[in-house]
Amino acid sequence: GENVEQHPSTLSVQEGDSAVIKCTYSDSASNYFPWYKQELGKRPQLIIDIRSNVGEKKDQRIAVTLNKTAKHFSLHITETQPEDSAVYFCAVTGGSYIPTFGRGTSLIVHP
Amino acid sequence: SQTIHQWPATLVQPVGSPLSLECTVEGTSNPNLYWYRQAAGRGLQLLFYSVGIGQISSEVPQNLSASRPQDRQFILSSKKLLLSDSGFYLCAWAQGAKNIQYFGAGTRLSVL
């Protein structure tokens, strides 16, 4: 089955800095790569996703890049703000009903 | 638009007691439905998923069970809770090739 590894497990930055979270996957047939944000005590919510035929996608301060050859994709957050503090999960889907999630990255943005 | 309802929000149950958590989806038909468990500070563990009424697939063998009596209703049950069943339970629905998961608000279960 699919295997997804997410790094780092914890990321601490100063407000205004950039943050990058990286995921690698194993199944070359995977074709959708969503990212979810989970604030403390809340549900995970989709923040951005990318499909396999696209290399980069941006939405304001958030971007996702995908390298299909190397089988990795990354979440980039620029100009971080305290409200960006949360746990971020990458996921991989494609060809099955079951998404595979990374183990999560706890992002802490210090004011 | 689609919405997902999950209840109760919090639950405190003694060891050995039964459990029933319910989830319903509105605004769509024939969704794929999922139950996840999340231990404190940990990732998402898929417990069950269903692609249709009466169809349940189990990902992790344990003392929990799931049922889908109606198209947009998904129920998580246990006959006898264990201490290790404590956690944050999330229901989710998805549809289409992207399989993006849309989560309910979650139930925080404490087994004492």
More confident call, A54 vs A74: A74
Q: Does A40 touch chain B (CB under 8 A)?
A: no
Compare CB distances from B103 to A43, A97, A106 and report the shortest one's residue.
A43
Question: Would you tell me how many other CB atoms lie within 10 Å of the CB of residue B9?
Answer: 10
Compare CB distances from B99 to A89, A97, A106 and report the shortest one's residue.
A97
Residue numbers in B near A99 (CB within 8 A): 94, 99, 101
Could you tell me what percent of chain A has a pLDDT over 70? 99
A44–B46 CB contact, under 8 Å: no
Residue-level pLDDT at A94: 77
B101–A49 CB contact, under 8 Å: no
Q: How many angstroms away from the CA of B41 is the closest CA of chain A? A: 9
The alpha carbons of chain B give a radius of gyration, in whole angstroms, of 13
Residue-level pLDDT at A81: 98
Residue-level pLDDT at B41: 78
Q: How many angstroms away from the CA of A78 is the closest CA of chain B? A: 24
Average pLDDT over residues B68-88: 96
DSSP symbols for B46-72: EEEEEEETTEEEESS-SSEEEEEEETT
DSSP 8-state class, residue B84: G
How sure is the predictor about B110, in pLDDT bands with cuts at 50, 70 and 90? very high
Q: How many angstroms away from the CA of A92 is the closest CA of chain B? A: 9
How sure is the predictor about B61, in pLDDT bands with cuts at 50, 70 and 90? low
B105–A43 CB contact, under 8 Å: yes
Q: Dihedral sign, CA of A9, A13, A16, A18?
A: negative
Q: Does A49 touch chain B (CB under 8 A)?
A: yes
Is residue B100 over pLDDT 70? yes
Residue-level pLDDT at B1: 85
Q: What is the mean pLDDT of chain B?
A: 94
Residue numbers in B near A102 (CB within 8 A): 43
Tokens encoding A37? 């944000």
Tokens encoding A93? 């889907």
Q: What pLDDT, in 10s, does the model give residues A18-69?
A: 999 999 999 888 999 999 999 999 999 999 999 998 899 999 999 999 999 9
